[in-house]
Structure 1
Amino acid sequence: MNTKELLLSVLMAGPATGYDIKKVLEQEVSKIVDVTISNIYPALNELAAEGLVTYERVEQENRPAKKVYAITDAGRSVCLNTLMTVNARHRLRSEFMFLLSFAPYLPRRRIKTLLDERLADLDEVYASLDDIEAAGPAGQGPATPGQAFCVGMGRAMIEAERNYILNNRDWLLRQAPEELPFAELVPG
C-alpha cells in the first residue's frame, strides 16, 4: 500500500489530526508494514484535493490552529477497494536474521548478544500486545475482531520465534568461534 492508502486506512477508525495519524503510523502501522512518515502532510493535502478526505481547522488557545482530518464516502470507497484488491504479500525482512547468517564468522559473544537483544525485543513487543488489544491500535477503544485476530497472530509468531531461539541458541553458539583474532578481520 502506498502512503495515501495507508492514511485512508488510519482514518477509517475516525477523524484525527495529522499528528495523531503520524503517531498511529509510527507506533502501530510501522510495526506491520513499511511506512514513509516524512510525506504524510503533502499526502493528506493531496487526499483533500482529490475529495477523499476533508479537514476542519480547529483553533487552539496560545497555539496554532490544527487540522482534524476525516475520510469522505469517496475516500472510504477508495480505501475499501484497495483493501479488496491489494496483493497481501507477507515478507520476512530481518537484519537480525541477516546478521545471524554470518554466525560462523562472528565471535560467540556477538552471537549471544544478538540473541539476547532479540529475546528482549520480542518480550517488549509481546507485552505491548495486551495494550494494543485493549485500546485498539489507534487508542480509540477495544480492538476490532480483525485487529484482535492480528494481535493473536502476532502473539503466536512471537512465541514461535522465542521458542525457536531458546531451543536452538546453544547449537548456534557452538557453531561460532570463541574469538576472532584481529588479524583475521583485516584483509591481507
Structure 2
Amino acid sequence: MNTKELLLSVLMGGPATGYDIKKVMEHDVSTLVDVSLSNLYPALNELAAEGLVTFRKVEQDNRPNKKIYELTAAGQEACLRALMKGDARHRLRSEFIFILSFVPFLPRWRVKELLDQRLADTNAVLEDLDRRDAEDNGTLREGQRFCIGFGRAMMEAQRDYIIAHGAELLDSCPDENPLRAVSAD
C-alpha cells in the first residue's frame, strides 16, 4: 500500500489530527509495513484535494491551530478498494537473520549480543501487545484483536526458538574474533 492508502486506512478508525495520524503511523502501522512519514502532510493535502478526506481547523489558545481530518464516503470507498486489491504479502526481512547466516565468521560474543538484543526486542514487543490487549475496553475491532494475537504468536515462537536453540548456535561460533586472524597475516 502507498502512503495515501495507509493514511486512509488510519482514518478508517475515525477523525484524527495530523499529529495523531503521525503517531499511529509511527507506532502501529510502521511495525507492520514500510512507512514513509516524510510526505505525510502533503499526502493529507492531496487526499483533501481529491475529495477523499475533509478537515476542519480548530483554533487553540497559545498554540498553533490544528486540523482534524476525516474520511469522506469516497475516501472510505478508496480505502476499501485498496484493501481489496492489496497482495497481502507476508515477508520475512530481517538484518538479524542475515547477520546470523554468517555465524561461522562471527565471534561468540557478537552472536550472544545479537541473540540477547533480539530477545530484549521481542520481549518489548510482547509487553506492548499485552498492554494493547489490557487497554481494550471493547474498542478494538475483531481484526485488531486477531492481529494482536497473531503478532503475539509470532513473537512467542521467535522467543521460544531463540531460547531453545541459541546455545547450539553459540557453541558453533569461534571463540576468537576471526578478523584478528586475518589482520595478523
Query: Do these two structures clear the TM 0.5 threshold for a shared fold by scoring above it?
Result: yes
Aligned to 2:6: 6
Deviates more, 1:46-55 or 1:164-173: 164-173
Within 5 A, what are the aligned runs for 1:89-104?
A: 89-104=89-104
> Does residue 57 of structure 2 align to residue 57 of structure 1?
yes
Deviation at 1:142, TM superposition (A): 2.5
TM-score normalized with structure 1 length = 0.93
Give the secondary structure class of the aligned counterpart of 1:110: helix
Same amino acid, percent of matched pairs? 60
Q: Is the 8 A contact 1:133 1:147 kept in 2?
A: no
Amino acid at match of 1:59: E
The alignment's C-alpha RMSD in Å is: 1.7
Q: Is the 8 A contact 2:105 2:178 kept in 1?
A: no
Distance 1:50 1:141, change over 3 A: farther
TM-score normalized with structure 2 length = 0.95
Q: Distance in 2 between matches of 1:185 and 1:4?
A: 50
Aligned length: 185
Q: In structure 1, list runs of 5 or more residues that go unmatched.
A: none
Q: Is the 8 A contact 1:57 1:66 kept in 2?
A: yes
Distance 1:185 1:19, change over 3 A: farther
Aligned to 1:148: 145
Aligned to 1:48: 48
Q: Distance in 1 between matches of 2:184 and 2:38?
A: 40
Q: In structure 2, list runs of 5 or more residues that go unmatched.
A: none
Give the secondary structure class of the aligned counterpart of 2:69: strand
Aligned to 2:173: 176
Within 5 A, what are the aligned runs for 1:68-83?
A: 68-83=68-83
Ranges of 4+ aligned residues in structure 1 off by more than 3 Å = 181-188
Deviation at 1:185, TM superposition (A): 4.7
Deviation at 1:127, TM superposition (A): 0.7
Q: Distance in 1 between matches of 2:167 and 2:175?
A: 13
